[in-house]
Amino acid sequence: MGSRKRNSAERRKEALRSQYFARLNDVPTSPRKMRLVADMVRGMEVNKALGVLKFSTKEASNRLEKLLRSAISNWEQKTEQKAENADLIVSEIFVDGGRMLKRLRPAPQGRGYRVRKRSNHVTLYVDTKKSTNVTKEVADGTKS
């Protein structure tokens, strides 16, 4: 590996150490259905988001609740603090399309209809309210 590539990889790893996230790959649900649930909890406080996901009737909410608990656990592990004491929020959540299984379904008169079984990847970032406000101010240029 070249030195430039190694340096950029080390910078990327260092940036990830200061972020608290959890990732869920190849969820056998269409990205559109998962985005509906992800939009419900985006920007919410963690405890409120857990309540919303627990009582949601959507099937994707169970998987997202488990992912949120994992992200909280990652935050606790990295900061060595308890989540109850901190004001944690879901700072960022996004759903990307995963691989697609392509199948054929029998149709009338010898034809076949395509069935695309979609999957998705979900990434959820958790952060404290204070640090999120500071990063937004620095990005906006309002704080020096």
Give the best-scoring range by mean pLDDT among 16-20, 24-28, 86-90.
24-28
Give first-to-last CA distance, the chain, whole Å: 38
- Summarize pLDDT for 58-90 with one digit per residue, the tens: 999 999 999 999 999 999 999 888 888 888 999
Give the model's confidence band at 140: pLDDT under 50 very low, under 70 low, under 90 confident, else very high: low
Whether 117 shows a pLDDT value over 90: the answer reads yes
Rounded Cα gap, residues 21 and 68, in angstroms: 9
Question: Reduced to 3 states, what is the DSSP secondary structure of residue 65?
Answer: helix
Mean pLDDT check: name the lowest of 20-24, 26-30, 78-82: 78-82
Averaged pLDDT of the chain: 90
Task: State the fold for domain 21-140.
Answer: Ribosomal Protein L22; Chain A (3.90.470)
Retrieve residue 55's tokens. Answer: 């009582």
Which residue, among 139, 41, 27, has the nearest Cα to 91 in the 3D structure?
Answer: 41
Note the pLDDT of residue 39.
96
